[in-house]
Chain A
């Protein structure tokens, strides 16, 4: 253990002294090495993306270093600006935000009652279940939903076999589904659709929502709830006047964090979203590794994505600060 080595080097010092005044006795060389490792591993990748985003593509031969804003210009107003303005990539960013907002809000809203109820019972077993599904790879989740939603073997088959499709046609709801793009002339279809994309993304972050809401809900002061009950408040009254106000900020914070996480979703979007409604994360991949091969342009898009994430993360940080100050 490297921590042990660090301490062994200052073996003569009594422990109390270290706890009281550790600052002056630090080994500068080891500290510097630690900083170097962390900065190299966790910061340089982001700096590289930033620098390369100002680079230039060489036709047919990769890219070179440069100091141009062309890539950013292409992201925001299109390559042939000012003659012509296209918002193709802003539209991709819009879809990134659109899917992420809906999915994160849905996940937190449905995870909230679940987590509240979970803190009232055998927690460890539920936590194992939640953590296991949380660590489940995006690839597996997409595979599972893909089997469930696919036209040949999944829910559409079930709809057809149970007569649900015919019933939907009889009541006239089938036409509404067709308008929403959730049915073809013969049967319901879920692939490809916004519905499938958002459903899978919600599923993807749902366990995270539970984990994020767990600490504030498990620390909830129950004497307050009891007091409100004794004074005759009904369950809804207790929820709206005691519980919700005290967890409002954690709720918003959780939505923000999940939103940032979902901005980078790749597999779910490539599999479930229509070609015209793909997100910026997919476009980043296409530029860096896929068929368009323009690393600087991909880097610029990644930076735009990162900036969006950073804005929302700092917003969340401010909120959590305020929550702590209020508590």
Chain B
């Protein structure tokens, strides 16, 4: 019983520690003045209006962030699907190598990949363009939909495929009626994982954007040296809220414990 209580206390303590900087930043967003104080002085919601509506710097940064996040997540899913599908159809050395190469940028220190992409786009003339930012993030986060789609494909009951084949379904029909419906939740989860991480990514974007446009994270980093303003805290709150909503949706409609690698029977 003592140990159980100690466990509860440890969990609570960890949660507090984890939430501490988030709470501080969120509280600071309510300041009415130009500097960050915690607890906030003269709480107001004016900073929210500034961030979403009136300050052009933040509004464009937010637009860029949203554009890059949605574009790159969609592109990552489009590339990841055939790679994962190949790996599932035939677990050959070639398909495994392909999947491995696709996950490489995510596994290695992102600063190296960022430097490399910076070189690549400067040769191809895409440096500082928003499309190259989208493609860069798609490459960086390819591993995420790759993993979730693979998990989804593995969860398909082979008996369903055999049944479809016995009843004379063509491969296209099987794909549309058996494979696709069963993997859609996993595809969507992969899309959202890539989306949220792209939204929050900093270092690769830093090299690829070459200061010619900025996303919200870049904009915040640029303002780091000039001191914080409460508007930056509003950006942080927005991002946390988006993450919580997205992952709650994945947990609600997808199979979050399974995606995270828990035993299927437990979920």
Chain A residues packing against B (C-beta within 8 Å): 1-4, 6-8, 10-19, 22-23, 30-31, 34-35, 37-39, 41-49, 52, 110, 113-114, 117-119, 123-125, 127-129, 131-133, 135-148, 153-154, 203, 206-207, 211, 214-215, 218-219, 235, 260-261, 263-264, 266-267, 271, 281, 284-285, 288-289, 295, 298-299, 302-303, 305-306, 309-310, 313
Is the Cβ of B202 less than 8 Å from the Cβ of A302?
A: no
Q: Which residue of B lies closest to A116 (CB)?
A: B7
Chain A interface SS verdict (over half)? helix
Q: Which residue of A lies closest to B211 (CB)?
A: A289
- Given the interface pairs A143-B220, A264-B111, the reply to whether A3 lies near B98 with Cβ below 8 Å is no
B53 interface contact, C-beta 8 A:
no
Q: Which of chain A's residues have a CB closer than 8 A to the CB of B162? A: 16
A305 to B116, CA, bound (A): 13
**A-binding segment of B43-51, B54-62, B239-247:** B239-247
Measured between C-beta atoms, what is the minimum distance from B88 to chain A in Å? Answer: 10
Is the Cβ of B113 less than 8 Å from the Cβ of A22?
A: no
Q: Which 5 A-B pairs have the closest CB atoms?
A: A144-B21, A45-B116, A264-B109, A215-B261, A16-B165
- Given the interface pairs A22-B89, A218-B257, A309-B109, the reply to whether A139 lies near B139 with Cβ below 8 Å is no
Is the Cβ of A281 less than 8 Å from the Cβ of B111?
A: yes
Q: Given A48-B116, A137-B199, A305-B109, 17 more contacts at CB 8 Å?
A: A3-B81, A6-B85, A7-B172, A14-B168, A14-B171, A15-B164, A16-B161, A16-B162, A41-B79, A45-B113, A128-B247, A133-B18, A135-B247, A138-B203, A139-B217, A153-B38, A302-B115
Is the Cβ of A206 less than 8 Å from the Cβ of B18?
A: yes
Per-residue interface assignment for chain B, residues 170 to 206, with 1 indicating a CB less than 8 Å from any chain A CB and 0 otherwise: 1110111000100000000000000011011111001
A215 to B207, CA, bound (A): 34
Q: Which of chain A's residues have a CB closer than 8 A to the CB of B266? A: 218
Chain B interface SS verdict (over half)? helix
A46 to B104, CA, bound (A): 10
Is the Cβ of A114 less than 8 Å from the Cβ of B14?
A: yes
- Given the interface pairs A23-B92, A38-B98, A267-B202, the reply to whether A153 lies near B37 with Cβ below 8 Å is yes
Q: Which of B86, B170, B206, B235 contacts A11 (CB 8 A)?
A: B170
